[in-house]
Copies of this chain bind each other. A is one copy, B any other.
Amino acid sequence: MKTLLPIARSDIHVHLTQEDLDSLFGKHYVLTYVRELTIPGNYACAETVEVVGPKGSIKGAVIVAPVRSYTQVEVSFTDAAILGLDPPLRESGDLEGSAGCILIGAEGRRIQLTKGVIAALRHIHMHPDDAKEFGVSNGQRVKIRVPGDRALVFENVIVRVSEEYRLEMHIDMDEGRAANIVDFQLVELIR
């Protein structure tokens, strides 16, 4: 049974609906590809937005393409403290009752979100072939041990299995720094 997989940190970023993208960058705006992410077809864009909360703002939040059916801002709790927001810890797309914010795009264009700001639950993306090799299934909670000078074991790590996924664990910057992680280092799955 396989136990080792790569881990990577996600910094603050946003997913946009076509409508919100149009509002922020102008009608029929085409996003600029920068680099592929580990979800094939998803990519980080050159375009960024400023995220504004009641207490402060963060510039340079990367837009992740392609557009989605919902607009979502993924922040760490450190980001949330800067913004003055109290986001729930959620899976992607689970936005009911989450925090709102203002997004500022190009040339001062802005939108007000009434919800969409979350802290992402740490999770593992797996292809069904990976799930078989690791002996786990979609939705299962596992533990992940990170070695090193700040060694720790993350509990409550949710496994997400899809034909679209490539094997990788995702955490936010706070979690990455707490464990002194180097992106793409190997960590150990503990059932």
List the one stretch of A35-43, A123-131, A148-156 in contact with chain B.
A148-156
In the assembled complex, the Cα of A173 lies from the Cα of B76 at a distance in Å of: 12
In the assembled complex, the Cα of A151 lies from the Cα of B89 at a distance in Å of: 12
Chain B nearest CB from A173 CB (Å) reads 7
The binding surface of chain A is classed by DSSP as mixed
- CB closest residue in chain B, given A88: B149
A89-B149, A149-B89 known; A77+B154 contact, CB < 8 A: no
A178-B179, A179-B178 known; A78+B152 contact, CB < 8 A: no
In the assembled complex, A92 has its CB within 8 A of some CB on chain B = no
Q: List, in ascending order, chain B residues with CB within 8 A of A150's CB.
A: 89, 122, 156, 175
Point out which of A122, A152, A153, A175 has the most chain B C-beta atoms below 10 A from its C-beta: A152
In the assembled complex, A109 has its CB within 8 A of some CB on chain B = no
Question: Which listed residue, B78, B89, B152, B173, touches A153 by the CB 8 Å rule?
Answer: B152
- CB closest residue in chain B, given A155: B151
A152 and B149: CB pair below 8 A? no
Give A contacts to B, CB under 8 Å: 76-78, 89, 122, 149-156, 173-175, 177-180
